[in-house]
Chains A and B, each alone.
Chain A
Amino acid sequence: MKGSKARSVLPGFGLSLGFTVFYLCILVLIPLAGIVVKTTGLTWDQFWQTVTSQRVLASYKISFFTSFFAALINLVFGLIVAWVLVRYKFPGKKLVDALVDLPFALPTAVAGVALTAIYAPNGWVGSLLEPLGVKVAFTPLGITIALIFIGLPFVVRTVQPVLQDLEKETEEAAVMLGAYRWRTFRRVILPELIPPLLTGFALAFARGLGEYGSVVFISGNMPMKTEITPLLIMTKLEQYDYSGATAIALMMLLASFAMLLLINYIQWRSNRRAVTE
């Protein structure tokens, strides 16, 4: 198979790329440049002090770990959900399929309030867990749950189309060669799913790092314990400290960007390999 070279017979390269870059610049790059420029209002020392102060460091840790675990859980369960939705038929499947998109549609603040109500010590689930000594709301566990809610559709919706497109032939060939189901899954299906799973994981993780609306309700916002990085940005804004706020924002931006870049690179390589093979 050949990839399209720079001289393609297809038209519209200039127009589509030009428009893409133009729109991207106007809507994303120029506004984001505002953050970088605002941050340059600080000296290097001030910048460094802002982004490495004890509270801020603690918040990175909390944001990072809760987002990471939430994304990990979404990775596993998201795959199962996607698999079930693509491969099996069962009553109410359409409804379940629609349910997956709910976290996109529900305003994050509503999600936060609803989740807090459920997982608070006097809530439906919280009151069941309380006697077991498990506290959910107002602990890092609560933050993780909110982030699982927020990130779920990212994993399911990236895995689903690929799973749907997976060539049945390869799978069937493997079965005909006598491979057991589990081995087929591990050797044939899973490798194909790794790129979308990674993308889904990265998107859910990156989204989790930045999430604010739903988390503030359930986290309890205790400094050093359950204070997330976006909350610190809000705190800075509340003191009219725009430069400080953008400094932390810049750190978050760089972290997300680096991760997305890495994941996209991995995905693109694995796709190219698949095409050239």
Chain B
Amino acid sequence: MAGAVTSHLSHEAAKRPKHITESPIVKWVLISIALLFLALVVLLPLISVFIEAFKQGMSVYWASITDPDAVSALKLTLMTALIAVPLNTIFGIAAAWAITKFSFRGKNLLITLIDLPFSISPVISGLIFVLLFGAQGWFGPWLDDHNIQILFALPGIVLATTFVTFPFVARELIPLMQAQGVHEEEAAASLGAKGWQIFWRVTLPNIKWGLLYGIILCNARAMGEFGAVSVVSGHIRGETNTLPLHVEILYNEYQFSASFAVASLLVFLAVITLIVKSIVEWRTSIVQAGKEGEQADAH
């Protein structure tokens, strides 16, 4: 039960015998280094965002996040994430299943292609959709004839976002499922379980943490994407501006506080997903404890 080991490792760590851990000095030195590094690189920018956001007081903060343009940007951002994230989740599961449960030629190539959107400059990620669907692009004239608007409307924004967040779920699942191997699934299959049954009953419980984690990362990135979306959005106020674009516009209008206030909204959205993760984790740990109790009884 490799999966089970992963999921309740936190209990395990506490129970580990003393002689195999480092001395407390090493431990605290490492913790300090890690915290100092994070403080300098990540925490400091975060703090500066919040300080700027509240610089002109609560009323300015509130006014800027309830501004109609900000609200419509928020709606657009959530909508985009709601489409892009589930699509990439389904893809991630399918890709991880194919790659880790079977062997076939060109697997490395496939994994690399899946990774590719990570490493493509956001500038280019937007540009490729312009080359495809732009009025001067491959499908542009056809789309124009049929009165279908992809660029500078929701579909274009969703496409760019989906592209940028494409690998997150797959990338999270592949190493995990690879480490878990195929034994459990094969055992289930030999006992006569059907395809979906194997997936729902055996695989999914084993990968749920990785999956959840991938979804959260994918979601965070989907809501925060700036470069690629900026190319395909058209910047129509109250219509095709996502939250990150709205932040840029406010900043360019010297409304620094308002701009950081809206940026902090994105931080809050990310925090909410993390809280959801913690709640799920907590609920399952209760279930897990119950399960362990039962297992102990059975022995």
A and B together in one complex: yes
User: Which residues of A pack against B, CB within 8 Å?
Assistant: 1, 3-6, 8-13, 15-17, 19-21, 23-24, 27-32, 34-35, 37-38, 77, 80-81, 83-90, 94, 96, 98-111, 113-115, 117-118, 124-125, 145, 148-149, 152-154, 157-158, 161-162, 164-165, 168, 171-172, 175, 181, 184, 196, 203, 206-207, 209-213, 229-230, 233-234, 237, 242, 245-246, 249, 252-253, 256-257, 259-261, 264-265, 268, 271, 275
Count of chain A to chain B residue pairs whose CB atoms are closer than 8 Å in the complex: 315
Q: Report, nearest first, the 3 A-B pairs whose CB atoms are least far apart.
A: A206-B119, A210-B121, A107-B244
Cα–Cα, bound, A230→B226 (Å)? 14
Cα–Cα, bound, A154→B163 (Å)? 18
B127-145 vs A, Cβ < 8 Å mask (1 yes, 0 no): 1110110000110000000
- B13, B20, B52, B124: which contacts A252 (Cβ < 8 A)? B124
CB-nearest residue of chain B to A90: B31
Cα–Cα, bound, A110→B243 (Å)? 11
CB-nearest residue of chain A to B120: A210
- B21, B176, B199, B263: which contacts A110 (Cβ < 8 A)? B263
CB-CB < 8 A to A264: which residues of B?
108, 111-112, 115
Cα–Cα, bound, A161→B217 (Å)? 14
CB-CB < 8 A to B110: which residues of A?
20-21, 24
CB-CB < 8 A to B104: which residues of A?
6, 17
Of A84, A115, A162, chain B has the most CB atoms within 10 Å of the CB of A84
Within 8 A of A (CB), among B245-288: 247-248, 251, 260, 263, 266-267, 269-271, 274, 278
A257 & B30 in contact (Cβ 8 Å cutoff): no
- B45, B159, B195: which contacts A114 (Cβ < 8 A)? B45
CB-CB < 8 A to A161: which residues of B?
6, 172, 175-176, 210
Of A6, A34, A233, chain B has the most CB atoms within 10 Å of the CB of A34
CB-CB < 8 A to A27: which residues of B?
159, 162-163, 166
CB-nearest residue of chain A to B278: A94
Cα–Cα, bound, A164→B182 (Å)? 20
What 15 additional pairs, Cβ within 8 angstroms, besides A6-B104, A114-B49?
A: A28-B117, A34-B128, A35-B128, A77-B33, A88-B31, A100-B42, A104-B270, A107-B247, A109-B248, A149-B42, A158-B175, A165-B5, A172-B17, A252-B120, A268-B107
B138 & A84 in contact (Cβ 8 Å cutoff): no
| Residue B56 at the chain A interface, CB threshold 8 Å | no
Cα–Cα, bound, A245→B128 (Å)? 11
CB-CB < 8 A to B271: which residues of A?
98
Chain B interface mostly helix, strand, loop or mixed? Answer: helix
| Residue B35 at the chain A interface, CB threshold 8 Å | yes
Question: How far apart are A149's CB and chain B's nearest CB, in angstroms?
Answer: 5
Chain A interface mostly helix, strand, loop or mixed? Answer: helix
Asked whether A212 and B122 contact (CB < 8 A) given A24-B114, A106-B224, the answer is yes
Question: How far apart are B139's CB and chain A's nearest CB, in angstroms?
Answer: 10
| Residue B63 at the chain A interface, CB threshold 8 Å | no
B119 & A209 in contact (Cβ 8 Å cutoff): yes
| Residue B204 at the chain A interface, CB threshold 8 Å | no
Asked whether A145 and B227 contact (CB < 8 A) given A16-B95, A28-B116, A207-B119, the answer is no
User: Which residues of B pack against A, CB within 8 Å?
Assistant: 2, 5-6, 9, 12-14, 16-17, 19-23, 26-27, 30-31, 33-35, 37-38, 40-46, 48-49, 52, 90-91, 94-95, 97-99, 101-104, 107-124, 127-129, 131-132, 137-138, 159, 162-163, 166, 172, 175-176, 178-179, 181-182, 185-186, 189-190, 194-195, 198-199, 210, 213, 216-217, 220-221, 223-227, 243-244, 247-248, 251, 260, 263, 266-267, 269-271, 274, 278
Question: How far apart are B30's CB and chain A's nearest CB, in angstroms?
Answer: 5
Of A103, A125, A153, A172, chain B has the most CB atoms within 10 Å of the CB of A103
Cα–Cα, bound, A230→B266 (Å)? 25
CB-CB < 8 A to A164: which residues of B?
6, 9
Cα–Cα, bound, A106→B221 (Å)? 8
CB-CB < 8 A to B21: which residues of A?
87, 181
CB-CB < 8 A to B90: which residues of A?
19
Asked whether A99 and B227 contact (CB < 8 A) given A81-B37, A81-B38, A110-B49, the answer is no
